[in-house]
Structure 1
Amino acid sequence: MPELENRFELAMYEIYRRAKEECGYDAKRFLIMLKSKGGVATAKELLHNDKSYEGLIHLIMCNCKHLTVEAHVLLPEYSELFTEEEKRIAKSRIQ
Structure 2
Amino acid sequence: MAEDPHPQFTQAMFDIYRKAKEAGYHATIFLQMLSDRHGQATAKTLINAAHPSDGYEALYRMGKLELTVEALIVGQPKWHRLFSNEEIDRARNRLEQYGYKAG
TM-score, structure 1 as length reference = 0.90
Rg larger in structure? 2
Q: 1:9: which partner in 2? A: 10
Tell me the distance in 2 between the aligned counterparts of 1:67 and 1:6: 19
Sequence identity (%): 38
Higher helix share: 1
Q: Which amino acid aligns with 1:16?
A: Y
Q: Which ranges in structure 2 are unaligned for 5 or more consecutive residues?
A: 97-103
Q: Which ranges in structure 1 are unaligned for 5 or more consecutive residues?
A: none
Aligned with 2:4: secondary structure? helix
TM-aligned CA deviation for residue 51 of structure 1: 3.7
TM-score, structure 2 as length reference = 0.84
Which structure 1 residue ranges, 4+ long, deviate > 4 Å from structure 2? Answer: none
Aligned with 1:38: secondary structure? helix
Instruction: Give the stretch that moved more between structures: 32-41 or 50-59.
Output: 50-59
Count of aligned positions: 94
Report which structure shows greater RCO (CA 8 Å, sep ≥6). Answer: 1
RMSD: 1.4
